Structure 1
Amino acid sequence: MANSSSGEAVLDRSVRVLRAFDAAHPSLGVAEIAARAELPRTTAYRLVAQLAEHGLLEHVSDGRYRPGVVLWEVATRASAPTDLSTAALPFLEDVNQVVRHSVQLSILDDSEVLVLERLSRPGHAINQAHRASRLPVHRSSMGLVLLAHAADRERAEYLRRHGEAARATHPRLEHTLETVRLQGFAVLDGFIDAETTGIAVPVLGPKGRLIAALGVVVPVGYDAAEAAVMSLRTASRGLARALATPRS
């Protein structure tokens, strides 16, 4: 595959263009794409035109683009996240009925919390997480659960890259993670929104292997936190069983 004058492959630059879009930036102009992807504007124009030609980007209006239908189609076929989200939906719905606030499913991906699914209802507490959005690990209850139950190598790599920021938020970080691991859930008040509390539990497979995290976002002072933890634990066990059951 052809390289740029810097030696960077076209595929690498194209991925940077696609990753310029996120939950906070669902549509972008070419100049914005160039800035966010750290590419020359002429290169960004060329790549955007090629990606749009193949349906990976879609022109919306006034020179702005958004991820295209073909990209959605390909992403939907990504087996692991799609299978996990599909299996989790009935259990998320159960928790949503009990807690009556947002419930979400996430995994640890590239040292961030990647939200795979979220269910809400009218009147739910403020929740910054959206489907396919990312959250900082050390500032979310799901992140603490994921980090506490991650494989030793993955946790060590996270701490090597982000330990300073994590310890600024949690001065006794190792103790916090050990507590989360032992009690089987995490609760964080007001770390992302001052008015909300995040509650999360792990989804564990055979031999305690981490699969995902389930979490809810409720108002600070929510008077049914214990019931929320119980509901999340029930859903976690149900999801783990569903994933372990061979499909007919």
Structure 2
Amino acid sequence: MNGTPGSGDGTRPRRGGKPAEGQPVIDRAFALLGTFDADHRAQTLAGLARRSKIPRSSALRLARSLVHAGALEHLDDGRYVVGLRLLETASLAPRGHGLRSVAMPFMEDLFHVTRQHVLLAVYEQGEAVLVERLSALDAGPVHYRVGGRLPLTTTGVGLVLLAFAPKDVQDHAITTYEPGEGRLRQGHDDIRTPADLRRALAEVRRGDHASGRQSLPWPVDTVAAPVRSGGEVVAALSVVAPSTGLAEAGYGPAVRATARAISRRLEEDGPWAARPGSPRAAS
């Protein structure tokens, strides 16, 4: 990162090698990058500074350094967008691209059978991160995007990952649970209280899958199952479809069989258990 004192980007040297605000440059750079999401794909400098809570002058220096490194691109209209360098780097993540490359053939088979949304997610810092999604054009709208984060308590993949997470992660999710929480502003219809969530997680562990109906923002059914390696849950696979009340019967066996097939292939390719950020490793 070129924002270190004396790096030639205009930053004046300061005692201790930190910005005036006292926050390490790397943290501030990630704060700036973290302002981009599905609703903010292109941002002005003012927007970057406001959303990251970094002073405009510092945001400008950071943005210039990130552009120079290829992490950001500066458009002709003055706005900034995420650069391809980040895509190149992210493609090397074993829990993202590596897992995706193993799972994709099986996900494609599941997609051709269901013609609905097929999702693959991993646990990361209290949320589910979507690493792959296959969707038919007529499968209906969803909020999910590859690389996006999903709440653990309001999605099928999230419930599976949470059910097999360490006890302290589960306890925190249960004690802080409120209906309609999280980015999607929706929740399973039968999970309305912390006690409901606790029972739901026990059912996931007992049945080795999650299923349910979500009414908001539009009715959908979801069925999800764990993907394992080395005895650990390393990912969750799900199908999301327009609500008919028949998702478990219609898609459940196929989802569970596909998750088991991916698990077997992961075992053949090498140990994946307790990867950094997986539910077990989070403890």
TM-score, normalised with respect to structure 2: 0.80
Structure with greater helix percent: 1
* Residues 58-102 of structure 1 deviation map (CA, whole Å, 9 limit, x = unaligned): 113421111111111111112232111111101111111111111
Report whether the alignment pairs 1:92 with 2:107: yes
Root-mean-square deviation over aligned CA pairs: 2.0
State the partner residue of 1:142.
157
Secondary structure of the residue aligned to 2:203 is: helix
Cα distance in structure 2, aligned partners of 1:181 and 1:193: 27
Q: Which has the larger radius of gyration?
A: 2
Q: By how many angstroms is 1:206 displaced?
A: 2.9
- Aligned partner of 1:30 in structure 2 is 45
The higher relative CO (CA closer than 8 Å, separation ≥ 6) is in 1
Q: Specify every segment of 5 or more residues in structure 2 that has no aligned partner in the other structure, as ranges.
A: 5-16, 182-190, 271-283
One of 197, 207, 227 as aligned partner of 1:183 = 207
The match for 1:125 among 132, 137, 140 is: 140
Query: In terms of mean alpha carbon deviation, does 4-13 or 151-160 score higher?
Result: 151-160
1:220 aligns with 2:235: no
CA gap 1:223/1:96 in 2 versus in 1, 3 angstroms? same
Q: Secondary structure at the match of 1:165?
A: coil
Question: Pick from 259, 262, 282: which aligns with 1:236?
Answer: 259
Number of positions where the alignment pairs a residue of Structure 1 with one of Structure 2: 244
Shift of the 26–167 alpha-carbon distance from structure 1 to 2, 3 Å rule, reads closer
* CA distance, structure 2, for counterparts of residue 224 and residue 10 of structure 1: 48
Equivalent-residue separation in structure 1 for 2:128 and 2:96 (angstroms): 13
Question: Structure 1 residues 30, 188: CA separation in 2 closer, same or farther (over 3 Å shift)?
Answer: farther
Tell me which stretches of 4 or more aligned residues in structure 1 moved more than 3 Å: 156-160, 166-170, 222-225
**1:186 Cα deviation from its structure 2 partner:** 1.5
Q: State the identity as a percent.
A: 31
Quick one: distance in 1 between partners of 2:174 and 2:122?
Answer: 17
**What is the rounded CA distance, in whole Å, between the counterparts of 2:61 and 2:81 in structure 1?**
16
TM-score calculated relative to the size of structure 1: 0.91
Select which of 153, 165, 168 maps to 2:178: 165
Q: Does 1:203 align with 2:227?
A: yes
